[in-house]
Amino acid sequence: MDKIKNNIVGAWKSVCLDLEKKLPRHAIHAWFDPITVVGFQKKSFVLEVPNQFSLEWIESHYKDEITLSIETLFDKQIKYRLLVAKEKDTSSNVRVLTEPHIRPRVKRFNNLNSKYTFGNFIVGSNNEFAKTAAESVSNNPGQQNFNPLIIYGGVGLGKTHLMHAIGNNSLKKNINLNIVNITSEQFTLDFVNSLRKNKTIEFAQNYRSSDILLIDDIQFFRGKEQTQEQFFHTFNVLYQSGKQIVLTADKFPGEMKGLQSRLLSRFQSGLSVDVQPPNFEVRVAILLEKAEQNGLTLDYSIIEFIARHIKNNIRELEGTIIRLLAKSSLLNIEINNQLVTEVVKERVGGRIGNEISIENIVKKVSEMSSVTEDDIVGKSRKMEIAEARQVSMFLCRDIMGTSLNNIGMFFGGRDHTTVMHALKTITEKQSTNDRMKRMISSIRRELGFSFL
Ligand code: ADP
Ligand code: MG
């Protein structure tokens, strides 16, 4: 015990080193590296984690491993306790506290997501104009030509990200700005509540005191006449006093149905910019960035594979990375080809699986090796035939995760030990033999699987 007390940080470090032997690298990176040791009390390590989510994740996934490592290294009586780190005061709060004459902001309005910045927004031809306009607005809110700024486009393409980035960046420049950021649904709800409680004046004041009003997804105002009426007045008050309004929508404002025409004509006085689905290179860049943010190092070939299959939606690209991380943590395995295939398949509704079958693999191997398909699934032990068969078996397992028994059955009713031998042989040949390596990677490419 004294040993621990004398050097708590070192003691905890030795626990982490022990955990590194048992857990995948990315799990350590994602969940253990951010832990701070804050003390040792009542025979327990007191550890701080960044947020509630980490706390729950660690407790539900790694409790046994941590306990075991501590027991092995120290003593059965030693435990650990996790705490969520308190959020640091932001400088804005400090200012409000120390300078009472500054108009205090209504907290609920300040719900900008600090992760959405211009710095981590990846730019391609699909969103360049939108980003430039957004940045310009945040540097100089209220310029007439850019008021209102309307960012429109499909789901998951970065509209909300850009809108929050405007808020975050403007605050960086001027901390006293009153930024009101809300979804159109919240706005509606707020309005309805204010009607119920006879507080429409307060409602109006809250919104009309903003320096920048950010409203997300205004398509939800559709058909809500009274809310639109309120919004129209708010809009006019702000616009006339040179305050910036930023809106996002799923369509070009001119094509929006169910919104009053006087609102639509107001929208036209500003600037509408669109975000489009990203092209291949932008998707790769986004995946690299998101993997890095999540502490994952993925082979370029895996990134490319994901980018090739998930095309329309950046949220999906991000979701794939998170899902990979979650699954590999959950199953306690390193990220491998099979896991990536599985996760991508879930995302695209199994389309990959449908394109690939054992027959397809055999056909491709036959084309590449000049051994006939019949020979590949037949009995012959001739060297080149046996090798083509082994390559096919290997690819079935590696791409589709087919069970050893099923592979054996398909390839001439062989048993699973034969299949295991084949997998081992090809794995070895791949690392020692360039011809084999090239052949496997070109078959993969032809099948749409460009993993190395
Ligand atoms: P939308 O509001 O258009 O539906 P979001 O702004 O919510 O989309 O974006 C979905 C996710 O994708 C967010 O996590 C966002 O950070 C991310 N994202 C979108 N576009 C980009 C981009 N160009 N660079 C980096 N991340 C992006
Ligand atoms: Mg959005």
pLDDT at res. 350: 67
Angle between helices 200-208 and 225-240 (to 10 degrees): 40
Q: Taking 70 as the threshold, does the pLDDT of residue 185 lie above it? A: yes
Q: Does residue 269 register a pLDDT over 80?
A: yes
From the CA of 87, how far away is ligand 1's center (Å)? 25
**DSSP reduced 3-state for 334:** coil
Question: What mean pLDDT is predicted for residues 201-211?
Answer: 92
Q: What is the pLDDT of residues 408-420, one digit of tens each?
A: 999 999 999 999 9
Q: What is the pLDDT of residue 109?
A: 47
**287 C-alpha to ligand 1 centroid (Å):** 12
Residue with tokens 């429409």: 200
Q: How many helices (H) and strands (E) does the chain have?
A: 22, 8
Ligand 1 atom closest to Cα of residue 121 = 24
In this predicted structure, what is the pLDDT of residue 353? 47
Q: Identify which has the larger pLDDT, 444 or 110.
A: 444
Residue 283 has pLDDT above 70, yes or no: yes
71-72-75-80 Cα dihedral, nearest 10 degrees: -30
- Rounded to an integer, the average pLDDT of 25-45 is 86
Hey, what are 394's tokens? 């290997």
One-letter identity of residue 172:
K
With H, G, I as helix, E, B as strand and everything else as coil, classify residue 380.
coil
> Could you give the CA distance from residue 446 to residue 284 in angstroms, rounded to a whole number?
20
User: In the chain, helix, strand, coil percent, each to 5?
Assistant: 60, 10, 30
How many whole angstroms separate alpha carbon 27 and alpha carbon 326? 9
Task: Decide: 11 in ligand 1 pocket, CB within 6 A.
Answer: no
- Most confidently modeled of 12-26, 27-41, 140-154? 140-154
pLDDT tens digits along 308-331: 888 778 999 999 999 999 888 888
The 10s digit of each residue's pLDDT in 141-160 is 998 789 999 999 999 999 99
| Ligand 1 contacts CB of residue 127 (under 6 A) | yes
Q: Give pLDDT, residue 3.
A: 76
Q: Average pLDDT in the 259-277 region? A: 90
pTM to 2 decimals? 0.64
Query: From ligand 2's centre to the CA of 294, what distance in Å?
Result: 21
Query: What is the pLDDT at residue 2?
Result: 76
> From the CB of 126, is ligand 1 less than 6 Å away?
no
Q: Would you say the CB of residue 159 lies under 6 angstroms from ligand 1?
A: yes
Q: If you measure from the C-alpha of residue 166 to the centroid of ligand 2, how many angstroms do you get, rounded to a whole number?
A: 14
Which one of the ligands is nearest to 315 CA? 1
How far is ligand 2, taken at its centre, from the CA of residue 38, in Å? 38
* Alpha carbons within 13 A on the beta-carbon side of 20: 9
* Atom 20 (ligand 1) nearest CA: 158
pLDDT at position 68 over 70? yes
* Ligand (nearest to CA of 216): 2
Annotate 83-140 with DSSP letters as a single string. Answer: EEPPPPPPHHHHHHHH-TTSPPPPGGG----TT--STTPPP-TTTHHHHHHHHHHHHS
Contacts of 214 (CB under 8 A, 6+ apart): 163, 164, 166, 167, 179, 180, 181, 182, 246, 247
**pLDDT above 70 for 177:** yes
Mean pLDDT of the chain: 86
Q: Is residue 275 predicted with pLDDT exceeding 70?
A: yes
Query: Between these two residues, 85 and 220, which has the higher pLDDT value?
Result: 220
Q: Do 196 and 229 touch, CB atoms closer than 8 A?
A: no
The tens digit of pLDDT for each residue in 387-410 reads 999 999 999 887 777 788 999 999
Nearest CA to ligand 1 atom 21: 158
* pLDDT value for 444: 78
pLDDT, residue 351, reads 65
Which tens digit of pLDDT belongs to each residue from 84-127? 887 544 334 333 333 334 444 444 346 899 999 999 999 988 89
pLDDT of residue 355: 62
Ligand 1 site, residue 345, Cβ cutoff 6 A = no
DSSP secondary structure string, 244-306? EEEEEESS-GGG--SS-HHHHHHHHTSEEEEE----HHHHHHHHHHHHHHTT----HHHHHHH
Q: If you measure from the C-alpha of residue 144 to the centroid of ligand 2, how many angstroms do you get, rounded to a whole number?
A: 25
pLDDT value for 148? 95
Atom of ligand 1 nearest to the CA of 282: 23
pLDDT score at 451: 47
Give the pLDDT mean for 185-207. Answer: 92
Q: What's the confidence (pLDDT) of residue 299?
A: 84
pLDDT above 90: residue 277: no
Q: CA-CA distance, 254 to 252, in Å (whole number)?
A: 5
β pairing state of 271-275 and 179-183: unpaired
Report pLDDT for 264.
92
| Cβ(388)–Cβ(365) below 8 Å | yes
